[in-house]
Chain A
Amino acid sequence: MSDTTHEEHHDGPHASGMWRWLTTTNHKDIGTLYLVFSLIMFLVGGTMALIIRTELFQPGLQLVDPHFFNQMTTMHALVMIFGALMPAFVGLANWQIPLMVGAPDMALPRMNNWSFWILPPAFLLLLGTLFMPGGAPAGGWTLYPPLILQTGDAFPFVVFSLHMLGASSILGAINIIVTITNMRAPGMGFMKMPLFVWTWLITAYLLIGAMPVLAGAITMLLTDRYFDTSFFLAAGGGDPVMFQHIFWFFGHPEVYILILPAFGIISQVIPTFSRKPLFGYVSMVIATSAIAFLSYVVWAHHMFTVGMPAAGMLFFMITTMFIAVPTGVKIFNWLATMWRGSISFETPMLFAIAFVILFTIGGFSGLMLALVPADIEYHDTYFVVAHFHYVLVPGAIFGVIAGVYYWLPKWTGHMYNETLGKWHFWMSTIFVNILFFPQHFLGLASMPRRIPDYSVQFTEFNMISTVGAFGFGLSQLLFVWMLVKCVKGGEPASTKVWDEPEGLEWTVPSPAPYHTFETAPKV
């Protein structure tokens, strides 16, 4: 970067207004864009979730027709996964990885600009399908044929938007790997990297392995529909089950893509507020790598009911249960980090502790689902919904929120309002449990997922769940308001922000200047 001309070396952005954001190659600007975009998508996807929960408040059909309900379940998942969670993590990576490894910027800044600006048009296409003849995709986010091939005019738009989203995250992943591999400050060996950087390095490799497979699968769907191929059409000699194999070969690594960076954030937050170094750093790195490796050999546990030989079911059951081992190592390391620490309970720490507890609940219900005989019973019930929402909402999303509170003072130069932060935490945590815990019971009582109507005996738990959903949704508006307030002003944050936190990001002033580490720091 030292060969840039003098003009480009002034302190702030090179342009102003909209043009600045469109053309920026600054990792902090792009990180901000990603985070704002993901927040908007979080609210969009959340609105869809509230439509679903409102319809499910009572048995019978009240608010929406079943076809629209199915569009909502499908779009809610796609928006939350590809619009809210993945961009949030990439945004955090953009802001933090260069600061944490002592690099002046990402390794490929122009590509970085592209990988963000692919996202808004991709979502225009995806959300636009809601207004097309035949409506948005309604076959579930897993896009199983032959059902998904019955999507109306929206079908090619869905496929194309997913291609764009995939391209965006692949470009982001390449950028992150190159940055981490080549741009670390002198002296920062791989085993000295902060854990957030480590988890992102591994996540980026997962993205490179998994996203192209999704691209291939949806391309095959496209040719099946428009070019007379029969990859998945039984009539032409294809096999619809093969789609499920290919999809979940992408899909299972994908769920670790959604959680590993959160593991990294929690591994930064807990040591800071326990005032102790992270317990078992090396085992954390090994555990993360082990989870990533295992994620490629467990995919068929999503499809135990398609008819598989016993040997196959046993294989996928055992590999799935193996994942509990490295995950358990991580949980125990976090607990050991807190053990006899001098703990203080600022908002990021509260979210981190809730993450450890509630993610573990999601992990345990995952173990229950790994057991073939149990899974055949739980398959496609609300138990599955409860499981993956526990790992994704108080898991991945709480991880993002913890990271945002933790680094927000560094980004904005202002402290957020700690009282409101605690309100946000308690409301989110209480309501998220009211929202998702009853769904375990609904699932165990065999309420099917993705159905707008249900038998009357499920009414009470559904009502409780819907109340929780609205409480959780409204709590997030508090979060948005606090974010706006914190960007606009507030108590100035010191360089270190917290009490002796570890890491290079706490050596630059708050707010972090537009250009940092133009001379590499000494580690």
Chain B
Amino acid sequence: MKPARAKTGNRRLVLTLGGAVAGMFAFAFLLTPLYEVFCELTGLDSERLTRATQPAGSAVAAEIDENRTVTVEFLTNTMNPAAWEFQPGDLSIEVTPGRTAETVFYAENLLPHNVISVTRPSVRPLEAVSHVSKQVCFCFEEQAFAAGERRELPMRFTIDSELPAHVETVTLAYTLFTAEPGLGGS
């Protein structure tokens, strides 16, 4: 063994492996955007797809399927039940595919000061995700609540007629958070 050559060999390998470590550390952070790209490509991210409204007057949305109805269930959650009262107005409604439906939710700020809420939507089953479009939703933006304020939150949406026939029930779920950093978990 020639020590000098062995030393450069070691150094090169250590640098390569160190680079691999740094690369994997960066990869962990890169997983965040990659994960979003993957969700968008595969249509798995129901939040992103249902937050935006679909272009009005699209052919699919306009077509009305009078031959069936779909049960739409509403589910509400809040991460901090001591700070929020959050309920759906209807537990479930029957919707004709292609026809716009309306419902309301009720939210009450139980705290003695002003707060802002953020709501995150979710759609199940996953195959229904691309067939739900919302025209009006409190989940589109933050909502300001005065101390103790109780408010009605309207929601208008359409389920298009392309929804697979075996999907008879669609669940729209909403989780309400206080829009302050760190409060989401407490």
Contact = CB atoms under 8 A, between A and B. Distances in A.
A145 B185 contact: yes
Classify the interface of chain A: helix, strand, loop or mixed: helix
A1 interface: yes
B34 to A, nearest CB: 10
B13 interface: yes
Interface stretch (B14-22, B58-66, B103-111, B143-151): B14-22
Interface stretch (B67-75, B91-99, B154-162, B173-181): B173-181
A215 B27 CA distance: 11
A177 interface: yes
B20 A209 contact: yes
A135 interface: no
Contacts of B55: none
Contact of A182 (B13, B24, B126): B13
B163 to A, nearest CB: 16
Interface in B97-140: 118, 120, 124, 126
A107 B185 contact: no
B10 A178 contact: yes
Nearest to B126: A309
B164 interface: no
Interface residues of B, number: 39
Given A213-B27, A234-B175, A181 B13 contact: yes
B41 interface: no
Contact of B120 (A173, A212, A234): A234
A1 B6 CA distance: 9
Given A2-B3, A177-B17, A182-B10, A215 B185 contact: no
B31 A208 contact: no
Interface in A234-265: 234-236, 239, 242, 245-246, 249
A231 interface: yes
B170 to A, nearest CB: 15
Contacts of B24: 208-213, 216
B1 interface: yes
Contacts of B118: 235-236
A315 to B, nearest CB: 12
B35 to A, nearest CB: 5
A216 B120 CA distance: 25
A478 B118 CA distance: 59
A213 B25 contact: yes
A239 B38 CA distance: 14
Contacts of B20: 208-209
A249 B34 CA distance: 14
Which of B17, B126, B185 has the largest number of chain A CB atoms within 10 A? B185
Nearest to A228: B181
Nearest to A226: B182
Contact of B181 (A145, A236, A309): A236
Interface string A146-183: 11011000000000000000000010011001100111
B21 A234 contact: no
B44 interface: yes
Given A235-B177, A309-B42, 8 more contacts: A2-B1, A170-B21, A212-B24, A233-B185, A234-B120, A242-B31, A242-B32, A245-B35
28 contacts: A2-B1, A2-B3, A108-B10, A108-B14, A146-B184, A146-B185, A147-B185, A170-B21, A173-B17, A174-B18, A177-B17, A208-B20, A208-B24, A211-B21, A213-B28, A216-B26, A216-B29, A217-B28, A220-B32, A230-B181, A234-B184, A235-B79, A235-B177, A235-B178, A236-B184, A246-B31, A307-B124, A312-B44
- Name the 10 nearest CB pairs between A and B, nearest first: A216-B28, A235-B177, A146-B185, A235-B184, A212-B24, A212-B25, A228-B181, A213-B28, A233-B184, A174-B17
Interface of A: 1-3, 107-108, 145-147, 149-150, 170, 173-174, 177-178, 181-183, 208-217, 219-220, 225, 228, 230-231, 233-236, 239, 242, 245-246, 249, 307, 309, 312, 520
Interface of B: 1, 3, 6, 9-10, 13-14, 17-18, 20-29, 31-32, 35, 42, 44, 79, 118, 120, 124, 126, 175, 177-179, 181-186
